[in-house]
Amino acid sequence: MSKTIQSPAGAEHARILGTGGYRPSRVITNEQICQVIDSTDEWIRSRTGIEERRWATAEETVGVMSIAAAGKALAAAGVEAEQLGCVIISTVTHLSQTPSLAADVANQLGAVNAAAFDISAACAGFCHGLALAQDMVRGGSAEYVLVIGVERLSDLTDMNDRSTAFIFGDGAGAAVVGPSQTPGIGPVVWGADGSQYDAIGQTFDWSRLRDEPDAGFPALRMSGQQVFRWASYQMVPVAKKALERAGITADDLDAFIPHQANNRITDAMIKALKLPAHVPVARDIAKTGNTSAASIPLAMERMLEEGEAPHGGVALLIGFGAGLVYAAQVVVLP
């Protein structure tokens, strides 16, 4: 007769215990961008909402930014690095194929008891990480999980490309997820539409450099209008489903924190969701640009710090990007 083995046992619920962000030191204005591409401050502001973005210096590596954001999140959560059971990093700009950035960051933080790995889910990466973290805490594979979204998109931006040079920024955002007596992270609604695989990507993959050393460095490219339409229309039912699965309505929200891709996408979602005027909406894109996996935790941190969203309030998060992939959930703010 086969032996019976134990199942893991976790906490009944999970929640975000603390967040932290890191904004790199170099402020890049629209005027600076327009010194290279044929554009104007007015066009960039009115088409995206971006006034300026941050670009990392050579010293502000993805590792350095991750550790800074994580340190703040751990302190805010009151959790020690040794208590972490897992470190998940979402990034598309860790430019070394292996090992993972998470293994290095976990080591430097002193997270000696943590598993560590990276995920690639582009601008939906933070919401993917939160979903995994809550499953781990509830499933019993980790008591505390550190989720980091970090990007140095300036490394993969062609500053001469009029369709992308103005949009991306750098930064890191982190959250510590741990056990809770009450529900703190709602059911995730996520998915992937690989039929639009080519909508956002690199100009060419790294393997070309092996055969053509003079090919230069790859850069991000994006079919802006295609992604814009998909995000503005297809993400609305996803957001609605996340509210429905959490058992609340748009009226119950204390904050709406969508991926900071374009203020016009945010406006289209607000309208389609019939979001009441009393719900504050993240507009961190104005000062930060589009930081992909870092955008939602950075926007969350700003709203909490500036008193725009209440601690303990309920927020709808939705991330969407290259893949095309998406993830949305309702969370209780730390």
Active site residues: 123, 259, 290
Q: Roughly how many angstroms between the first and final C-alpha of the chain, as a whole number?
A: 48
Binding residues for ligand UT7 restricted to 53-72, rule: CB under 6 A:
none
CB of 61 to ligand UT7, least distance (A): 22
CB nearer to ligand UT7: pick between 26 and 45: 45
Number of residues forming the site for ligand UT7 (CB under 6 A) = 21
DSSP assignment of 62-106? HHHHHHHHHHHHHHHHT--GGGEEEEEEE-S----SSS-HHHHHH
Q: Which two tokens stand for residue 220?
A: 């991000």
- Sketch the per residue contact string, 174 through 203, with ligand UT7: x for CB under 6 A, - otherwise: ------------------------------
Match 């893991």 to its residue by tokens.
8
CB nearer to ligand UT7: pick between 231 and 330: 231
- For residue 52, give the 3-state DSSP assignment: strand
d(CA 332, CA 311): 8
CB of 64 to ligand UT7, least distance (A): 23
- Sketch the per residue contact string, 234 through 263, with ligand UT7: x for CB under 6 A, - otherwise: ---------------------------xx-
Closest CA to 239 of 183, 300, 299, 319: 319
Can residue 117 be called a binding residue for ligand UT7 (CB under 6 A)? Answer: no
CB of 162 to ligand UT7, least distance (A): 4
User: Long-range contacts made by residues 194-198, C-beta under 8 angstroms, separation at least 24?
Assistant: 194/323, 194/324, 196/226, 196/230, 196/323, 196/324, 197/323, 197/324, 198/223
Please pick, from the candidates 22, 55, 126, 166, the single residue that binds ligand UT7 as defined by CB under 6 A: 166
Match 């309505």 to its residue by tokens.
249
Please pick, from the candidates 13, 26, 45, 47, the single residue that binds ligand UT7 as defined by CB under 6 A: 47
CB nearer to ligand UT7: pick between 74 and 285: 285
CB nearer to ligand UT7: pick between 15 and 259: 259
- Sketch the per residue contact string, 210 through 229, with ligand UT7: x for CB under 6 A, - otherwise: --------------xx-xx-
Can residue 162 be called a binding residue for ligand UT7 (CB under 6 A)? Answer: yes
- Helix ranges, 78-231 (H): 101-109, 125-139, 207-211, 224-229
Upper half-sphere CA count for residue 45 (Cβ side, 13 Å):
8
Can residue 160 be called a binding residue for ligand UT7 (CB under 6 A)? Answer: no
Q: Do 202 and 220 meet the contact criterion of CB atoms below 8 Å apart? A: yes
CB nearer to ligand UT7: pick between 132 and 231: 231
- For residue 34, give the 3-state DSSP assignment: helix
Please pick, from the candidates 17, 123, 142, 268, the single residue that binds ligand UT7 as defined by CB under 6 A: 123
Q: Do 168 and 221 meet the contact criterion of CB atoms below 8 Å apart? A: no
CB of 80 to ligand UT7, least distance (A): 34
- Sketch the per residue contact string, 257 through 296, with ligand UT7: x for CB under 6 A, - otherwise: ----xx--x------------------------x-x----
- For residue 299, give the 3-state DSSP assignment: helix
Please pick, from the candidates 48, 61, 90, 93, the single residue that binds ligand UT7 as defined by CB under 6 A: 48
Q: How far is CA 100 from the centre of its chain?
A: 18
Chain position whose Cβ is nearest to ligand UT7: 224
Q: Which residues bind ligand UT7 (CB under 6 A)?
A: 37, 39, 43, 47-48, 123, 162-163, 166-167, 224-225, 227-228, 231, 261-262, 265, 290, 292, 321
